[in-house]
Amino acid sequence: MIEYLVDGPLWYLSLAVFCTGVVWKLGSIIFTSRKTDLSVARDSATSGAVRTVFSRFLPHREIAASIKMQVIAGYMFHLGLFALLFFAAPHVLFLEEHILGFGWTAMPHWAFIVSAQFAFLGLIMLWLRRLVNPVSRLISTLDDHVAAILTFIVMLTGCFALLEGSPALRLLHRFTVELWLIYFPFSALMHTFTFVPSRAFTGAWFGRRGIDA
């Protein structure tokens, strides 16, 4: 029964909530009417927007030293997660069979394990930092903690099912993924998509003034 639900209706529900939620939120950002800026631009807003979308991936030299942990652990987690989500063999197969209809070369198994280890270590250290640092403690919301813990649980159930020999463990992983997909559009996890328009808006604002932000 559970197998039927997790592989069937719940999967479709989670996918629907995820896609609708993401599109809705992005739409509400992009299609909200914006007042035209009546001041005369000094330089191109568009090129500023595009530039900033990419330039913010690297911290400014001036503050890099004081944000080492966020940058290092942050990239360990994000890059590890990205690698294992899109290049781990079981995931590539899943994407091919259930969503896209096409796949690509997966990374070797050892690379899968190493990516997962980076992702775990990064996430653990980031979440712990959120708990011990006074600034993070003050500004963090319940949503931040739930998002981190839920993501960790998804990764953990994935790790448990690594042998790919137990239907129950596979179902557990899939179930937590579905929970995660449903939670996604209503949480801070949306930064996955909204960072693009945010950086673009700010980049455009600075770009009009001729500042490389």
Partner 1 sequence: MVNSRYIYSPVSPTQLTAIILFVVGLFLTQVSVAAVPQKHENFPQGVPTINPGSELWREIRRRDGSGEFNEVNQGLLVNELLREMRNSQQIQQGISQVGQVDSGVLINAQGKRWALFRMTTLADYSAIAIAAIFVIIVLFFVIRGKVSIEGGLSGNVVKRFSDYERVVHWTLAIVFLFLAITGLILLLGRPLLIPLFGKDFFALLASASKEGHNLFGPLFLVSLIMMLISFGRRNIYEKGDLTWLLKGGGLIGKGHVSGGFFNMGEKTWYWMVILIGLVISISGLILVSPNFGQGRLIMEFTHILHVVSAMILIVVSIGHMYLGSIGSEGALEGMKSGYVDINWAAAHHDRWGKLCREQDLIVSAEEYARLQGQTGSISQPVTEQGK
Partner 2 sequence: MSERLERGLETLRNEIDGKVKSFFSSCVRCGICAEACLFYTETNDPRYTPIYKTEPLRKLWQKEYSFWGKLSSALGIGKPMTEADLADWEELVYDGCSMCGRCSMVCPVGVDISMVIFKVKHGLAKAGFSPEGLVGATQRAVDIGSPMGITMKAVAATIKHVEANTGLKVPLDVEGADYLALLSSNEIALYPEYLESITKIFDHAGVSWTLSSEAYEATNSGLQIGNKTIAGQLVQRVVDGAEKLKVKNVISPECGHAYTALRWEGPNFIGKAYPFRVVHILELLDELRAEGRLETTGMEHERLTFHDPCSIVRRGGIQAQPRNLLQPLAENFVEMTDHGSMNWCCGGGGGVSSNERAEELKLTAFNKKKSQIDALKVDAVVTACSNCRMVMEEGVEHNEMEVELLGLTEIIAEHLVDKHAH
Window 173 to 212, contacts with partner 1 (CB under 8 A): 175-176
Name the one range near partner 1 by CB under 8 A: 28-36, 56-64, 96-104, 111-119. Answer: 111-119
Q: Is 87 in the site for partner 1 (CB under 8 A)?
A: no
C-beta closer to partner 2: residue 27 or 108: 27
Interatomic CA distance for residues 198 and 24, integer angstroms: 16
Q: Is 137 in the site for partner 1 (CB under 8 A)?
A: yes
Interatomic CA distance for residues 141 and 143, integer angstroms: 5
Q: Is 134 in the site for partner 2 (CB under 8 A)?
A: yes
Q: Identify what 175 binds: partner 1, partner 2, none; CB under 5 to 8 Å per kind.
A: partner 1
Among 13, 53, 85, 111, binds partner 2 (CB under 8 A): 53
Nearest to 115 by CA among 83, 162, 71: 83
Helices 45-55 and 191-208 pack at an angle, to 10 degrees, of: 140
Interatomic CA distance for residues 161 and 148, integer angstroms: 20
Other Cβ atoms less than 10 A from the Cβ of 73: the count is 20
Interatomic CA distance for residues 177 and 168, integer angstroms: 14
What helix, strand, coil percent values describe the chain, rounded to 5? Answer: 80, 0, 20
* DSSP output for 19-58: HHHHHHHHHHHHSS--PPP-SPPSS-HHHHHHHHHHHTTS
Among 166, 186, 210, 211, binds partner 1 (CB under 8 A): 166
Q: Is 132 in the site for partner 2 (CB under 8 A)?
A: no
Q: Identify what 199 binds: partner 1, partner 2, none; CB under 5 to 8 Å per kind.
A: partner 2
Among 87, 160, 193, 201, binds partner 1 (CB under 8 A): 160
Q: Is 4 exposed, middle or buried (0-12, 13-18, 19+ CB in 10 A)?
A: exposed
- Tell me how far, at minimum, the Cβ of 182 lies from partner 2, in Å: 11
Name the one range near partner 2 by CB under 8 A: 1-9, 97-105, 173-181, 199-207. Answer: 199-207
- Summarize as ranges the residues that interact with partner 1 (CB under 8 A): 2-3, 69, 113, 116-117, 120-121, 124-125, 128-129, 131-135, 137-142, 145, 149, 153, 156-157, 159-163, 165-169, 171-172, 175-176
